[in-house]
Each structure stands twice: as structure tokens, then as C-alpha cells.
Structure 1
Amino acid sequence: MRLFQGLGNNTGDYQKLEVTLQEYGVPTVVAKVSRFDWLRNAAGLVDPNYWSGTLRPRPVLDWYLKRIDEAVQEAKELAQGQTLSLIGHSAGGWLARVYMEEFGQLDVSLLLTLGTPHLPPPKGVPGVIDQTRGLLDYVEKHCMKAVYTPELRYVCIAGRYIQGARFLGDSNVEAKAMVPAENDQPTAEAVLVNDMGNSTSTAPRFRARFVGQGYKQVCGQADVWGDGVVPEVSAHLDGALNISLDGVYHSPVGSDELRPWYGSPAVVEQWIHHLLN
């Protein structure tokens, strides 16, 4: 199994997940990426396509695709002729799709994405700026559509950790703005919010609105559920097996027993069967 990092994450952030997967008998190779490596993306600033919002993955992200390919080649040696499973966290999910498109997918039988913003933000929504500068538009137009077949399976997992809220005005939020993960361990705090978006304290209300502004940049809406970074609706793909997990936070950075992320042991238990089947 190969694991690809999200934007800004490094190899060490996934060490505990790597150990957890190995405990299930899943040999794992994590792409070798440091936080400093992500500064290479600044090369896109000199590309006119960046400023026009039509940026392409190559050559700006060639360095990352090379790291993926190195991990895949190492994994092939371990697999001894068996097919490979790819796991992409956050941006690593859509970058894995770019890799499969550019380098081939014959050896891949599973792409499992964790909190990946697959869909480009809608155009023409006031206040929304495409943070990828066109990269997700390219992925949607040029990369293979998701499938779920015996030969190749796409499994897209989204977290429902916190519901966002609009910055101004009433928000159509549910009774609970945060939901706990479904396990026997201590789980995420629950913040009660009434139907008009007025929480029981100022801090939770501000947090929901702050998170909502991030969601809006990704999917065009603020008052939706997500993992604190990526909205649920953006993490799913037509044609894939789409799964939503309650109480799951986006990142390994800042996660703990009270705020489990996709790679926490109790959460891995809910999706590991896709790797074992």
C-alpha cells in the first residue's frame, strides 16, 4: 500500500498510521516529502496560467509526482507481482489521480481517498477564489472518472466533524454543530447550536463561521458539514463508493483522542476492510 500526503504534511505526520496499517498486515510505503518540499509549489507563481486560474499539474507538481513514483516503485518490489492500493490524504488524493493519469494505473486496484477536495469550487460565487488556481478544474476534465469495479475501486471517505456557518446572517445549521466519532473512546466535543445559528456561547459560533468561510472557498457554501477543512460534498466523487464518517477531523496535525482524524486507530477500523478485501 502507498500513502500520499496532503498539502503541507510531511512523511512523519503519517508514522502512526503506517504502524496501524502494518498491525493489520498491510505493508506500507509513505511518499518521502518534507514540509520544506511544499515550497517548490511557489514555482507556479511565475506561470501565467496561475494568474489566469488555468494552472496545470505539470511541471509545477512534477517534484511531487516523482516522489509518488519512487514510492510506487518501492511498493512494487514489496508486492511481488500483486496489485497496489493507493491512499491519498487531502490533496494527496487528487494528486494520486493525476499520477494514475500520467504514469498509468495498470498496477493499481484501489484508490482510497481521505478528506480529499476532489471537486473544483464553483465559478461566479461572490467571495470564492479557486485556491488551486485551476488545478482541480484540470483534474476534473482530464483525469479518469471514478469507478467501482472488480478491477479498480475508488473509495472516497469524508469526515463530518463540524458544520460551518455563514459569516453574516442566519445559517441553516443543525442541532449539533459538531458530532462525536462513533467509537468507545472519548470523542470529539459536541457544541449545541439552535436553528437560527445562535450557539450557546460566542466561541463555538465564531468557530463555525470561521470554518464555514474555509468550506465556502472549497465548495461555494459555508453552512455545510465537513471535517474542519474539506466539506463533505467535495470529498465524494460520482462513480466511487462514497462514505461519510461522523466525528472525524481532517488532519493528523492537531488530532488527539478527543479529535480523531482519518488515520486514528478507531477510525481506521471503519475503513480498513477496503484494503483487506
Structure 2
Amino acid sequence: MASAIVPSLRLRPSFSYATSPSSSFSSSGDVKPRPAVILPGLGNNSGDYKKLEVTLSEYGVPAVVAAVSRLDWFRNAAGLVDPSYWRGTLRPRPVLDWYLKRIDDAVREANALAQGQGLSLIGHSAGGWLARVYMEEYGNSDISLLLTLGTPHLPPPRGQPGVIDQTRGLLYYVEEQCAKAVYTPELRYVCIAGRYIRGATLVNNADVSAGIDGGDAISELAIASNKTGDSQVSSGPSLRARFVGQGYKQVCGRADVWGDGVVPEVSAHLDGALNVTFDGVYHSPVGSEDETRPWYGSPAIVKDWIHHLLQ
């Protein structure tokens, strides 16, 4: 079934906790929310998502986190002996079979809780595109929703000077071989991006205080990161913005774009999906702080996307 054209949304989260999760959302009748499987991002471990798991449970959503340790990610070094790594044409299998198996184990555990009502996958960072590989390889008949948080879905442009594909071809494979995003009653893709800081080029030829499209207001946290000692916004990009911009450039080919500090906004959205952007949201649970530096899984942010899991 073809996916309808869905407009993108941009949200500024509210940090009010006046209403509890249980009173904000209640399931109708005896219908229980689908279980969710949380897929860790590159370099993260299962424990990084414990607080998100607890937050989801407060909305009645049982969650299973795929079992991943930080040391597990060193398994990816096996790709170094594959000639396709050096050609930039690496494929997910077999180098990422270990992660796909962890997803499958978590899906099986969640299915035991689902009682036939389907599952939601929540993929953080690389966990989002790895979820797409899993759905392609293992099937998606049990999955009703793929919700991605700061996932670099799109490969960098080919032939861009100074840009090296950090996935060595994996994202090109996903783009070319995995099913396209849809938003249908049977399966919904929701792709969430963050605007925490705008990057800058190494040479000062862009105004960091302007929005990506020239008309958007800078997020409050991005402003805070560029204040000087006298509380005035700097007239030029900060060193931090230049550093972040070089990271963005490796992902999307441009430095002077908005992103969550790691993944550019433009890379975290997919054609065919419901695309959402949150202002002031940081990429990772590591280094985040719920009130001053919230990440996608902070309670104040979750309350603005939890409804996708309750539909």
C-alpha cells in the first residue's frame, strides 16, 4: 500500500510536569499499548536506556532493550578484513549479524508480552537504520511502528570533497536495498530529529545565529552555547559550532546545518515517514541532562512523542 504524503512537524518541547503520564494517557477499555523494543545506538549499551524504559512503563508501554554492551561494538572491527570496507561498499551482513541477532532476541521477548497485537521498534541513532536492516532480513509482520531517534538514515553525498562515509557503504546499502519508509495503518515510520546546535564551517562564511532556512529562530539551548561572558550572542560561530559542523559534514556533506550535536536534521528524516523535529534536543543519553540538555528519551521529550506508541 502506498504511503500518504505526510507533512513534517517542528516542535518546541514544554518542560511542565503538572500532569502525570498515567493521567495524560489512558488506554481505552482493556486495550493495552504494544510492547516496544529499544535498539541502542553506536557506542551505547543497554544500561543507557534504563531511564527511557522506566519512562515508557509509566505510560503503560512495556519495553525490552536489546542486550548490547559497549565492548560489543568492537565486533564491527571484523569489517576491516573485508575488501569491501576499503572500497566503501560494505554490506551489513555478516559484520553486523551479532547486532541483528540481539534485535531478534529482544523482539522474541517482546512478542511474548504482545499477545499478538504487534510491536513498536524504537531505534536510537544507528539503531534506527539497523532496525530497517532487521526488518528487511527477518521480516516485519510483527512490527506496527518504527520510531527513530536521531538516526542518520541518509548516506553522505558521493564525491564530496573532505567527506568520508563513516559507515563504509552501509548506509548506501540501506538506502538502496531496504524497504522505503511508509506511514500506513499497517506500518508507520516516525523519524524524529533534534535541533540542539547549528554547525558552522571552518571558515567564517555563515551566520550561526540564523536558522537553516534563513527564517527559523535559533533554539534556546543553541543560543546558550554561544553566549559570551557579557551575555551577548557572539557575532561569529563558536569553536564548538565549527567542531560540530565538521561532524555534520561527514554525515550529510554540509557543516552549516542544524542537528542534535551528532546527526544533522536533514539526515534524520525519511521520505514517506512522518518526520518530526524537536528544538533544543541533544543526541545521546550519555552527556544529557533532563532539564538543561535533554535528549530524545528525556521525560519532557517523550511526552511529546509517546502518543505514536499508544495509537
Relative to the length of structure 1, the TM-score reads: 0.92
Unaligned runs of at least 5 residues, structure 1: 181-186
Q: Which has the higher contact order (CA 8 A, sep 6+)?
A: 2
1:155 pairs with 190, 195, 201, which one?
190
After TM superposition, list the pairs within 5 Å mapping 1:24-63 onto structure 2: 24-63=59-98
* Equivalent pair of 2:90/2:168 in contact (CA under 8 Å): yes
1:139 pairs with 174, 180, 203, which one?
174
Aligned residue in 1 for 2:300: 266
User: Match of 1:7, as an amino acid?
Assistant: L
Q: Does 1:244 find its partner at 2:244?
A: no
The alignment partner of 1:271 has SS state of coil
Q: Give per-residue Cα distances to partners, 1:174-208, cap 9 Å, x unaligned.
A: 3479623xxxxxx6762458xxxx96288x61000
2-side partners of 1:136 and 1:157: how far apart? 18
2-side partners of 1:141 and 1:170: how far apart? 34
* Equivalent pair of 1:160/1:246 in contact (CA under 8 Å): yes
1-side partners of 2:222 and 2:246: how far apart? 21
Aligned residue in 1 for 2:149: 114
* Equivalent pair of 1:188/1:260 in contact (CA under 8 Å): no
**Percent of aligned pairs with the same amino acid:** 76
Quote how far apart the aligned CAs of 1:231 are: 0.1
* Equivalent pair of 2:226/2:238 in contact (CA under 8 Å): no
1-side partners of 2:226 and 2:67: how far apart? 41
1:100 pairs with 95, 110, 135, which one?
135
The alignment partner of 1:263 has SS state of coil
2-side partners of 1:116 and 1:175: how far apart? 24
Aligned residue in 1 for 2:103: 68
Relative to the length of structure 2, the TM-score reads: 0.82
Q: Give the count of matched residue pairs.
A: 266
2:119 pairs with 84, 87, 90, which one?
84
Quote how far apart the aligned CAs of 1:168 are: 1.5
Aligned residue in 1 for 2:32: none
* Equivalent pair of 1:164/1:208 in contact (CA under 8 Å): yes
Aligned residue in 1 for 2:250: 217
Quote how far apart the aligned CAs of 1:251 are: 0.3
Unaligned runs of at least 5 residues, structure 2: 1-35, 212-216
* Equivalent pair of 1:178/1:247 in contact (CA under 8 Å): no
1-side partners of 2:115 and 2:222: how far apart? 41
* Equivalent pair of 1:32/1:67 in contact (CA under 8 Å): yes
User: Match of 1:261, as an amino acid?
Assistant: W
Q: Does 1:179 find its partner at 2:219?
A: yes
User: Match of 2:241, as an amino acid?
Assistant: A
User: Match of 1:35, as an amino acid?
Assistant: R
* Equivalent pair of 1:178/1:190 in contact (CA under 8 Å): no
Aligned residue in 2 for 1:184: none
User: Match of 1:223, as an amino acid?
Assistant: D
Quote how far apart the aligned CAs of 1:170 are: 1.1
Q: Does 1:19 find its partner at 2:59?
A: no
2-side partners of 1:113 and 1:172: how far apart? 30
Aligned residue in 1 for 2:161: 126
* Equivalent pair of 1:227/1:250 in contact (CA under 8 Å): yes
2-side partners of 1:110 and 1:200: how far apart? 42
* Equivalent pair of 1:3/1:30 in contact (CA under 8 Å): yes
